Amino acid sequence: MTRFRLTVEYDGSPFMGWQRQPHGPSVQQAIEEAVHAITRETVTLHGAGRTDAGVHALAMAAHVDIEKPISAFRLADGLNAKLRPLPVAILAAQEVAGDWHARFSCVGRRYIYRIENRRAPLALHAKRAWRVPLVLHADAMDRAARILVGRHDFTTFRSAHCQAESPVKTLDLLRVRRFGTSIEIEAAARSFLHHQVRSMVGCLELVGCGKWTERDLKDALRARDRAALGFNAPPDGLYFAEAVYEEDRRNANSF
C-alpha cells in the first residue's frame, strides 16, 4: 500500500463542492472514480479542506492510498487522462509516509478571493470572479481588513451549518490589493470556519463602497452574532490557494 500526495487544480463551477455529495457531482468523487478506472480499487480521497459549490482551487492538497504498484508520475498522468474533459487537473503526485495526512498534517491554509471592479460584464472571468460595478476603495478595504487579523471569536463570520467545535480562530493574514480593475483579497490561517472567508469579503466590500466604516466592521466582529453580518460574497471569486505542511517549510528554508 502506497500513500500518494496529490496537488489538485480545479474550476468549481460544475461541482457541488470538493466533498462527495448524494445530490450532485463533486471533485472528490471525480478523482476517486479516476483512481478506480486506473487501478480497479475503491479508494477514499482525503483533502486538506472542503470547498463549497462553485469555489475553485489553485493547489488543493489531497492524499489517497493505492495497493497497485504505480509510480507517482504514471499516477498523475493517468488521472489527468481519466479526468478529461472535467475541469480538474492533478498538478503533482508524490509518495509520502503512511502517517502523512492531507488534512491533519496541514499547518496552514491560504485562500485568494478575486473581485473584478468594473461595470462591464465578465467575458473571460465569468464564474471565476465576483463582478462589483460600484467603485471600491481597496486601500480602505485593506485598512479595515487589519481589524480581523489575530485571534478572535468569529461567530459573526461563521455559517450556521459550521461544524467546528469553536468559533475562535487565529487569522494570520488578511490583505487587499488592487491590480487595475482587479482586486485580490488574500487570507491565511491554520484553519477557517465554514464561510469565514466569504463572510469577511462580503463585509470588506461594504467598506470598499462606503456603506460600512471600520467601526461597523469592529462592531460586527464584537457582536459575535451571525445576524450582524453584512452578507456572504458569492463563491465565484474564491480559490483555495495553498495548503502548508512542515516538510514544505523545511525544504523551503534549506535553499
Q: 3-class SS at 62?
A: strand
Residue 240 DSSP SS3: strand
What DSSP state is assigned to residue 52?
A: B
The active-site residue out of 52, 99, 139, 225 is: 52
The residues near 254 (Cβ < 8 Å, ≥ 6 apart) are: none
Q: Which helix (H) or strand (E) holds 202?
A: helix 196-208
Contact at 8 Å (CB) between 226 and 167? no
52 included as an active-site residue? yes
The cell numbers describing 53, all together, are: 459549490
Q: Locate cell 487587499: which residue?
A: 176
From the number of C-beta atoms within 10 Å of its C-beta (0-12, 13-18, 19+), residue 225 rates as exposed
- Polymer length of the chain: 255
Which residue numbers are catalytic?
Answer: 52
